[in-house]
Amino acid sequence: MKTRHKRFTLILGGLLLLVGATALVLSAFRENLVFFHTPSEVAEGKAPTGRTFRIGGMVEAGSIRREGVEVHFAVTDTARSIPVVYSGPLPDLFKEGKGAVVQGKLGADGIFTASEVLAKHDENYMPPEAQHAIDQAKQTAKSLQQ
Amino acid sequence: MIWDSWGAFWEMGGSGPFVWGSYGVTTVLIVAELIMLRTRRVSSTRKLNRLMRAGHGRKLPEVQGS
Amino acid sequence: MSTSESRFNLYHYAAPQAFYPVAGKLAPIFAAIAVVLAVAGLWIGFFKAPTDAVQGEVYRIIFIHVPAAWMSMFVFLVMAFWSAVGLAMNTRLSALMAQALAPTGAMFCFVALWTGALWGRPTWGAYWVWDARLTSQLLLLFLYLGYMALVAAIDDPRRRDKAGAILCLVGAVNVPIIYFSVKWWNTLHQGASVSLTKAPSMASIMLSGMLVMALAAWAYTISVALYRVRVLILERERHADWVRGELARLGEAS
| DSSP character string of A13-68 | HHHHHHHHHHHHHHHHHHHTSS--B-HHHHHTT-S-SSS-EEEEEEEPTT--EEET
Please check whether residue C58 touches A, CB under 8 A.
Answer: no
pLDDT band at C21 (very low <50, low <70, confident <90, very high): very high
The whole-angstrom distance between C173's CA and the closest CA on chain B is 27
The whole-angstrom distance between C21's CA and the closest CA on chain A is 32
Judged on CB neighbours under 10 Å (0-12, 13-18, 19+), C171 is: buried
Nearest-angstrom CA–CA distance, C94 and C237: 14
Rg (alpha carbons) of chain C, rounded to whole number? 20
Pairwise CB contact (< 8 Å): C125 & A11: no
Q: How far is CA A33 from CA A8, A18, A120, C130, in A?
A: 37, 22, 17, 9
Nearest-angstrom CA–CA distance, C75 and C174: 13
The predicted pLDDT at position C222 comes to: 98
The predicted pLDDT at position C10 comes to: 60
pLDDT band at B23 (very low <50, low <70, confident <90, very high): very high
Nearest-angstrom CA–CA distance, C48 and C42: 9
Nearest-angstrom CA–CA distance, C190 and C133: 9
Tell me the pLDDT tens digit for each residue of A37-61: 999 998 888 888 778 899 999 999 9
Instruction: Kindly list the residues from chain C whose CB atom is less than 8 angstroms away from the CB atom of residue B18.
Output: 58, 61, 118-119, 121-122
Instruction: Kindly list the residues from chain B whose CB atom is less than 8 angstroms away from the CB atom of residue C155.
Output: 62, 64
Q: Kindly tell me if the per-residue pLDDT of C175 is higher than 80.
A: yes
Kind of pairing between the strands at A112-120 and A65-67: unpaired
Please check whether residue A86 touches C, CB under 8 A.
Answer: no
DSSP element (H, E) containing A115: strand A112-120
Nearest-angstrom CA–CA distance, A97 and A105: 23
Pairwise CB contact (< 8 Å): C191 & A123: yes
Please check whether residue C62 touches A, CB under 8 A.
Answer: yes
Q: Which of C45, C168, C196, C33 is nearest to C97 (CA)?
A: C168
Pairwise CB contact (< 8 Å): C58 & B13: yes
Instruction: Kindly list the residues from chain C whose CB atom is less than 8 angstroms away from the CB atom of residue B62.
Output: 155
Phi, psi angles (nearest 5°) of residue B60? -70, 145
The predicted pLDDT at position A20 comes to: 85
Residue C164: CB atoms within 10 Å: 25
Q: CB-hemisphere CA count at 13 Å for B50?
A: 7
Pairwise CB contact (< 8 Å): C58 & B15: yes
SS3 of residue C8 by DSSP? helix
Instruction: Kindly list the residues from chain C whose CB atom is less than 8 angstroms away from the CB atom of residue B22.
Output: 61, 64-65, 114-115, 118-119
What ipTM score was computed for the predicted complex, to two decimals?
0.89
Nearest-angstrom CA–CA distance, A134 and A125: 13
Contacts of A10 (CB under 8 A, 6+ apart): none
**Is residue A65 within 8 Å of residue A111, measured between CB atoms?**
no
Nearest-angstrom CA–CA distance, B20 and C209: 17
SS3 of residue B39 by DSSP? helix
Instruction: Kindly list the residues from chain C whose CB atom is less than 8 angstroms away from the CB atom of residue A121.
Output: 54-55, 123-124, 190
**Subunits in contact with chain A (3 or more CB pairs closer than 8 Å):** C
More confident residue, A104 or A134: A104
Question: How many residue pairs from chains A and C have C-beta atoms closer than 8 A?
Answer: 129
DSSP element (H, E) containing A114: strand A112-120
* pTM summary value: 0.89
